[in-house]
Structure 1
């Protein structure tokens, strides 16, 4: 497999910094330092400046999540929910709860940049990928559940970052899974 280009490395690094510090806290200087890129490469790779870099970073982040979601397989909706819960949990644990979702971070801290459409499309892609995952597992109409799931995940991520521990996520997800099991049980009873 070939090595990622310097542009691709800068984009991936910017996504990680946005997830950790938000848009205002993402600087070319830090991206250059972390990637080892030269100062001249900034406007060579991103002639549109920080706006172009942030847009590319958010698109890259959405690609990464969408790809991970497309790979999930489970035989039941409850098993798929467990995989989804673990996917986000592992992402939080991989950085000691210091970084969350780059897309959410950009929504909350866009610093006057024109990112509304980029953020909307990124969340739409994420929502669609989770819906597809739930449908693959046998859930008939998961759209509303997925909105609840993503809202709960994003809120839990914010709390984990604020508290610098995984407990808020685990508590929120346990409650969501409990509600899902209750809802599934009552739906099964209603169809008998």
Structure 2
């Protein structure tokens, strides 16, 4: 079915971007890999590679956004653990070759793709802010904590790829959980008052 072909191409483009980045993605290779005529690429994406890249990045962005929304009520810790569990599987299955397509778009040469990535990061931030506020994090602090979570997760994936090991994800998981707990209850996180010097 045409829609299946189109969706397969978008998902395939996202996978290719995750491994090679935006600028090295090849429409010809994608068509061969997905078993579709090269002409189909231009049929479904008249804007060519640029249009397909943006759709692939938004495809990944929308899936994560929907996952954040679907876990509301379960808390930030649940989302952090869920995301890192998913990344552990992706990294191991890809032999530490796959990264985040959204981050790849954020460092692409074309400003168009960087703009698409910023919009996705903004959507993720908004979704996380809602969860954080539900968790008791003050509304004025929640955006900063949300951006710290996103930056930490993206950085952990990059370090895991660089070192070929899962350790950075484990480190970030425990620290982010502590961060959220402290942001929600700074008094408890500070511990009992110290007497004297």
| TM-score category (smaller protein) | 0.7 to 0.9
Q: What is the alpha-carbon distance in structure 2 between the residues aligned to residue 40 and residue 99 of structure 1?
A: 27
Cα root mean square deviation, aligned: 2.4
Q: What is the alpha-carbon distance in structure 1 between the residues aligned to residue 165 and residue 127 of structure 2?
A: 27
Residues 84, 114 of structure 1: alpha-carbon distance in 2 compared, 3 angstrom cutoff: same
Post-superposition CA distance 1:58-102 (Å, at most 9, x none): 111111111111111345xxxx23212222212222221432321
Secondary structure in 1 matching 2:86: helix
Corresponding position: 1:69 with 2:68: yes
Post-superposition CA distance 1:110-140 (Å, at most 9, x none): 1346323212111111111111222344433
Residues 8, 187 of structure 1: alpha-carbon distance in 2 compared, 3 angstrom cutoff: same
Q: Which runs of 5+ in 1 are unaligned?
A: none
TM-score between the two structures when normalised by the length of structure 1 = 0.84
2:138 pairs with one of 115, 137, 140: 140
User: Higher RCO, 1 or 2 (CA under 8 Å, sep at least 6)?
Assistant: 1
1:51 touches 1:113 (CA, 8 Å); kept in 2?
Answer: no
1:20 touches 1:99 (CA, 8 Å); kept in 2?
Answer: yes
1:48 positional shift = 1.1
Instruction: Report the structure number with the largest CA radius of gyration.
Output: 2
Post-superposition CA distance 1:154-190 (Å, at most 9, x none): 1111111112221111112212323433444433589
Residues 33, 84 of structure 1: alpha-carbon distance in 2 compared, 3 angstrom cutoff: same
1:70 touches 1:129 (CA, 8 Å); kept in 2?
Answer: yes
TM-score between the two structures when normalised by the length of structure 2 = 0.82
How many residues of Structure 1 are paired with residues of Structure 2 in the alignment?
184
The residue aligned with 1:13 is 12
1:152 positional shift = 1.0
